[in-house]
Amino acid sequence: MTEQNTNSPYRMRLPRPNYLPHNIEADIDDESIVQQYKPLGRPSRREEEAYIKKVRRFAEEYRITKPQGYNVSFHYNPAMEKHHFGQTHPMKPWRLTLTKSLVNAYGMNYAMDNYHPRAATFDELTTFHTKDYIDFLATVAPQPTPLDVDNPNPDLKFNLGGSDCPLFEGLYNYCSMSGGASLDAARKICNKQSDIAIAWGGGLHHAKKTEASGFCYVNDIVIAILQLLRVHARVLYIDIDVHHGDGVEEAFLSTDRVMTVSFHKYDPQVFFPGTGALEDNGPKNELNPGAHHAINVPLNDGITDEQYEWLFQTIISQVVAKFRPEAIALQCGADSLAGDRLGKFNLLVEGHGACVEYCKKLGIPMIMFGGGGYTPRNVARAWAYETAIAIGQHKNIPSEIPEHTSWRDRFRQTTLLPSIEEILGEPRTNKNTPKKLQDIVQHVSEQLRFVEQAPSVQYSIIPPDLGPIREEVEHRLREEAEEREENRRDREEGVGVRGEL
């Protein structure tokens, strides 16, 4: 074995068990994923049973039942919560813990098919990313301090190891779990087990084919859309994160089978990633199939619910009428909410959720991804409320956060839908004039004139199969599911099922 270069800022280590394609014997230790943090305390069995009883009573009282006429699935791996990007890093996987606490406290889990997806394999991650990149991501050792702390211009390999994309403990596992949840959601849409599939652990839209970017290492959205394209001829990608969905747009820049629409703040001099101008509409060469298939909606600080909802519905209605998608991939980044650590909009949970509600009414199979969001309590509120929209219960659940909600004190206000005054004190200055919004709509309408009406697609050019899943992995998962039977009693008792009147 060759000796490592001691001058290199990177160190390599043996890969994790889910890094499957290489037959490397590795001694895997039992260390916690983040050694310097003690695990959260576990409730006793009695406390857990009491909590479940409260949730059941709540679900029965407010008639939280499965929706009629369509199916919603929830794809979530709780092991993602344990990871930590760093003490000062804006990305906090803790937001997933708060989201889950709200979703469960409202009894929404009884109204959905709940899946514990496995981590994506190396072969699945490399359906989009290069093997060299995933090889490095899986084997590079964690760095306790970002490489750009002492050196402002470090030579970062694959853009990994800096303050934006640090090498934290358990990084590859975190990425593969995120990718696995989104891929599982896409498969449930493809085989018609779900009409709406939710993957709040996904939505990492900045990652590129060969590098990490903007807190994103693996582009789970692109991997999921590639899966959708195996069955659906045209997929519409919609992004309501405050940052431009550059990674997804770039991935599908030269195809007419995916149209990307991104609503985001645009200030290229100071705001990441600095792309997504109104005039950026795909390749300039008219002979390229992807020309005019990238729609960008650049916004300024301070946009309100009313403006955002009008703009969203006006543009998406035109896009759907022209492109006629067979599936929708909706990235619900919550950093576009008022009070976000990075975003500066005036959107409330209701305004953000109105976009989800509009897409749901279209009746097109849809995946709902997570994304950005750097004030965890607001992220959790938005994604819980949008889960309620997906199951058709957002008008039935009380706005007061249930008393039995785990971590209830972390939400500050006890309401699910705080006002702008409760969040900010006073709204931010709105820099979006009516003329600016009208100009955006006019430009989008002009671009759509060049899009062929519902382009026909021969299935011979649909991307190849993502590769057969290893039989031993699927066999093990089936055995675990049979042993667990977590929801057997609930099914027998009929919790979440509409009763006869």
Q: Which tens digit of pLDDT belongs to each residue from 209-247? A: 999 999 999 999 999 999 999 999 999 999 999 999 999
Overall average pLDDT of the 395-403 stretch:
96
pLDDT of residue 152: 79
From 75, 84, 205, 206, the catalytic residue = 206
Query: Which regions of 300-415 does DSSP assign to beta strands (E)?
Result: 327-331, 366-369
pLDDT of residue 479: 61
22 labelled binding-site residue: no
User: Is the pLDDT at 462 greater than 50, yes or no?
Assistant: no
Of 120-124, 128-132, 326-330, 479-483, minimum mean pLDDT range = 479-483
370 labelled binding-site residue: no
User: Is the pLDDT at 389 greater than 80, yes or no?
Assistant: yes
29 labelled binding-site residue: no
- pLDDT-derived band at 438 (thresholds 50, 70, 90) equals very high
Of 194-198, 322-326, 386-390, 474-478, minimum mean pLDDT range = 474-478
Overall average pLDDT of the 352-361 stretch:
98
pLDDT of residue 461: 43
The Cα–Cα gap between 215 and 163 comes to 9
Reduced to 3 states (helix: H, G, I; strand: E, B; else coil), residue 422 is helix
Overall average pLDDT of the 176-194 stretch:
98
Name the residue type at position 74: F
Question: Contact at 8 Å (CB) between 161 and 143?
Answer: yes
Between 463 and 377, residue with greater pLDDT:
377
Task: For residue 157, count other CB atoms closer than 10 A to its CB.
Answer: 15
Question: Contact at 8 Å (CB) between 184 and 115?
Answer: yes
Identify which of 45, 133, 40, 52 has the alpha carbon closest to the alpha carbon of residue 81: 40
pLDDT of residue 467: 40
State pLDDT tens for residues 247-290: 999 999 999 999 999 999 999 999 999 999 999 999 999 999 99
Identify which of 376, 444, 384 has the alpha carbon closest to the alpha carbon of residue 412: 376
User: Is the pLDDT at 468 greater than 70, yes or no?
Assistant: no
Enter the pTM of the model. 0.86
pLDDT of residue 241: 98
User: Is the pLDDT at 37 greater than 70, yes or no?
Assistant: no
Domains in the chain: boundaries: 57-493
Between 154 and 469, residue with greater pLDDT:
154
Name the residue type at position 333: G
164 labelled binding-site residue: yes
- As a whole number, the mean pLDDT across the chain is 88
pLDDT of residue 23: 43
pLDDT of residue 140: 95
CATH of domain 57-493: 3.40.800.20
The Cα–Cα gap between 356 and 389 comes to 7
pLDDT of residue 156: 92
Identify which of 415, 356, 421, 346 has the alpha carbon closest to the alpha carbon of residue 391: 356
pLDDT of residue 472: 52
State pLDDT tens for residues 197-211: 999 999 999 999 999
Identify which of 245, 265, 238, 242 has the alpha carbon closest to the alpha carbon of residue 373: 242
pLDDT of residue 476: 56
pLDDT of residue 5: 58
Active site residue 292: no
pLDDT of residue 31: 42
Question: Contact at 8 Å (CB) between 195 and 72?
Answer: yes
Q: In the beta sheet, which residues pair with residue 299?
A: 265
- pLDDT-derived band at 147 (thresholds 50, 70, 90) equals confident
Identify which of 416, 373, 394, 362 has the alpha carbon closest to the alpha carbon of residue 196: 362
What percent of the chain has a predicted confidence (pLDDT) above 70?
82
108, 303, 304, 375, 417 from 429: Cα distances, Å: 36, 8, 10, 20, 21
pLDDT of residue 46: 87
Question: Contact at 8 Å (CB) between 279 and 246?
Answer: no
| Own/partner pairs, 210-213, CB within 8 angstroms, 24+ separation | 210/129, 210/130, 210/132, 210/133, 210/158, 211/133, 211/158, 211/159, 211/160, 212/137, 212/158, 212/159, 212/160, 212/164, 212/165, 213/159, 213/164, 213/165, 213/246, 213/247, 213/273
User: Is the pLDDT at 351 greater than 80, yes or no?
Assistant: yes
409 labelled binding-site residue: no
Between 366 and 152, residue with greater pLDDT:
366
Q: Which token pair is 268?
A: 């290229």
pLDDT of residue 2: 46
123 labelled binding-site residue: no
User: Is the pLDDT at 392 greater than 60, yes or no?
Assistant: yes
State pLDDT tens for residues 300-332: 999 999 999 999 999 999 999 999 999 999 999
pLDDT of residue 124: 97
